[in-house]
Structure 1
Amino acid sequence: MDTSELRAFCAAVSAGSLSAAARQLGISQPGLSRRVQRLEDELGVTLVIRGAGGIRLTHAGQRFLTFATRTLAEYDAIRAEARFPAGAMTGTIGIVASTTPGEYLVPELVARFVDEQPGVKTREFVTDSAGVARHLLHNDRWDVGFSGRRVNHPRLCYEPIGQDEIVLAAPSSHPLAERSAVAVDDLAGQRLIQREEGSGTQQTFVDTLAAHGLAVPPQPAAITLGSSGAVLSAVEAGLGIGVVSLRAVEHHASQVRALRVVGVPVVRSLYVVHVTDRDHPAHVRAFVEFVLDVGRGRDDAG
């Protein structure tokens, strides 16, 4: 029994399903299922009942949830105190992030770190993946970056901290919304709402299709927008089908449906980024270490 298994179990209970928990942790669903199964095998009991509508706790699972929650809270507190005494650090961290991690990952990470180190403040800016690299390299007020795409540069270090799935987003009233997956040919004649050049979301989608010998068929003039939120607002207004992170769609689930491309999983890594030759102060180094610790907890242990 280890903390990654306890976190997988708690995430599954919180999310209500193994698939949703896997997306939150940035690991594969089979990987998360194996972690929960290992707990059940070690304990010799069934913790969750798996069904088409999600999971539900058994009586043993309810008792174990109390133990797992308390154990993780105590473990995290001890680890944080051992790493840096609570409240010992002060300073400001300049964080520049691309849209998906900036909107759906960084806020949680910052909240958790600042809870440990309330003397630390953050300054945050959201741009695209190319902009993350540019700001880190040319403006030293930015200390740490988060990006969905690597930009090759000898002074930049990209370290993976999780995975992200790119999907198509359709209005819930759209005929294609009745499906969970579509063929690329189904997009013929559909207006595509896409991200700007430099967006990791857009580039990952295009590159993955190309790697499978596919391309989006001819369509009415595409709409190009600068953020996932803007894309989803346009989708909700019925202007077309968007290309966005699944994390973004999950925040608009009542009005937007996620569509995968048949046979083409579009998955990328999310990265924390820093400049290798810059002498960062202790509170910045501590934040990067904290983020990497969280990322290691999301790694698929198999």
Structure 2
Amino acid sequence: MDLQVLRSFQAVAAGVTVTEAASAARVTQPALSRALGRLEDEVGAELFQRVGRVLRLTPAGRVFKEYADTVLDAYDRGRRAVAEVVDPDTGVVSLAFLHTLGTWLVPKLVTGFRQEHPGVRFELHQHEENGLVQHLLSATADLVITSKDPGHPLIAWRRLLVEPLLLAVPAQHRLARHDRVRLAEVADEPFILLKSGYGLRGVTEALCREAGFVPQAGFEGDDVQTLRGLVAAGLGVSLIPGAPDGAATPDYPIRYLEITDVEGARDIGVAWLSGRTLPPASRRFIDHALRTTAGQGTPAASSTGPEPPRSGRAAPGPQA
């Protein structure tokens, strides 16, 4: 079985036309159609059915695709691992992370790591909490940086730090002159929230329940900058990760207040598939992340968790 045919099968299964897949594989469309036909003969089942002008996977095709994805992922990881053994200062770190971490933590970690390993490339993906778990399970990312332990039996997790959550209120709000407030004091006000599925939404709802109320959703957005903008416009209040300071600015006339009746914080950690041998570059990135975040909030060294699996021949990174 030709790996290129498997890649073309994978592309067509994802919605690419046979003509486009043939062009990417640098073969003619009839040649690729014959190759896909031979693949069906080898598998012993029809993998595609035509719906209008496009090909759709049959039930047998959907089953086969899971195994084809696994084969191609293992082959690609094997090539990466060999390349990194030959030249340990190269490689690829495939990293997925929460949207809210893309403005501060991830850039800081990536910049510091590339200063130490300039030959390493990054494949970056942003997603909400549930999507991050799927990135690991589908092997489209080696590592994810997320806001809590996913609690999945196949996923290992290590805390990096504890990030404070502050109550953002408009600069003219009745509580804006305070530095510290009880979350229960805004129980009757509209909350500016991220959409369901985002980690910060779940943490906000849990803290509000702990404070004795269910937050009223005044607006649901996709990113923290939108939350800040709508709070500044006076449309509600919001729990927002660590603001740069507690003062209003011309662009964002907001006050950030510490909450006292519940613990306004969330865990930030790194996760990987526990049974999968990580490429050396990804393992070194975990070591770098643990070193870089040690001492921020709750030190990573105080958290418990398994040691990420190391590639057998790679030079070991520092112990966390």
* TM norm. shorter chain > 0.5: yes
State whether residues 184 and 216 of structure 1, in contact with CA within 8 Å, keep that contact through their aligned partners in structure 2: no
Partners of 1:101 and 1:148 within 8 A in 2: no
Residue 187 of structure 2 contacts residue 213 of structure 2 at CA under 8 Å; is this kept in 1? no
1:265 match: 263
Q: Distance in 2 between matches of 1:133 and 1:94?
A: 14
User: What is residue 176 of structure 1 aligned with on the other side?
Assistant: 175
Alignment partner, residue 99 of structure 1 = 99
1:253 CA drift (Å): 4.7
Extract unaligned runs of 5+ from structure 1: 1-83
* TM-score, length-scaled by structure 1: 0.63
Question: Taking structure 2 as the reference length, what is the TM-score of the superposition?
Answer: 0.59
Going from structure 1 to structure 2, the CA distance change for 1:101 and 1:114 (only over 3 Å counts) comes to same
Q: Quick one: which amino acid aligns to residue 201 of structure 1?
A: L
Which residue does 2:195 correspond to in 1? Answer: 196
What's the offset of the Cα at 1:121?
Answer: 1.4
CA deviation vs aligned residue, 1:99-156 (integer Å, no higher than 9, x gap): 3333221110100000111101112222222221121212x23111101122211111
Corresponding residue SS for 1:272: strand
Change (3 A) 1:229 1:190: same
1:244 aligns with 2:240: yes
Q: Percent identity?
A: 25
Distance 2:270 2:247 in 1: 26
Q: Which amino acid aligns with 1:268?
A: R
Q: 1:111 to 1:236 in 2, by over 3 A?
A: same
- Report what 1:287 is aligned to: 285
What code does the residue aligned with 1:263 have?
Answer: D
Root-mean-square deviation (CA), in Å?
2.7
Match of 1:118 in 2: 118
Q: CA 1:251 to 1:110, structure 2 compared with 1: closer, same or farther past 3 Å?
A: farther
Write the distance in 1 (CA, Å) between the matches of 2:246 and 2:154.
35
Q: How much has 1:205 moved relative to structure 2?
A: 2.7
Shift of 1:293: 2.3
**In the aligned structure 2, how far is the partner of 1:185 from the partner of 1:290?**
39
Aligned to 1:128: 128
Q: Is the contact made by 1:187 and 1:216 (CA closer than 8 Å) also made in structure 2?
A: no
The structure-2 alpha-carbon separation of the partners of 1:176 and 1:270, relative to structure 1 and needing over 3 Å to count, comes to: same
Is this contact kept in 1: 2:246–2:256, CA < 8 A?
no
Gaps of 5+ in 2: 1-83, 303-320
CA deviation after TM superposition for structure 1 residue 301, in Å: 8.8
Deviation at 1:222, TM superposition (A): 2.1
Deviation at 1:197, TM superposition (A): 1.6
Q: Distance in 1 between matches of 2:264 and 2:223?
A: 19
DSSP-derived class of the 1:103 partner: coil
Distance 1:208 1:251, change over 3 A: closer
SS of corresponding position for 1:224: strand
Aligned partners of 2:160, 2:196: CA distance in 1, in Å?
Answer: 24
Which one is further off, 278-287 or 258-267?
258-267
Amino acid at match of 2:286: V
Count of residues in correspondence between the two structures: 212
The separation in 2 between residues aligned to 1:232 and 1:277, in whole angstroms, is 40
Structure 1 pair 192/297, CA: closer, same or farther in 2 (3 Å)? Answer: closer
Q: Is the 8 A contact 2:88 2:280 kept in 1?
A: no
SS at match of 2:272: strand
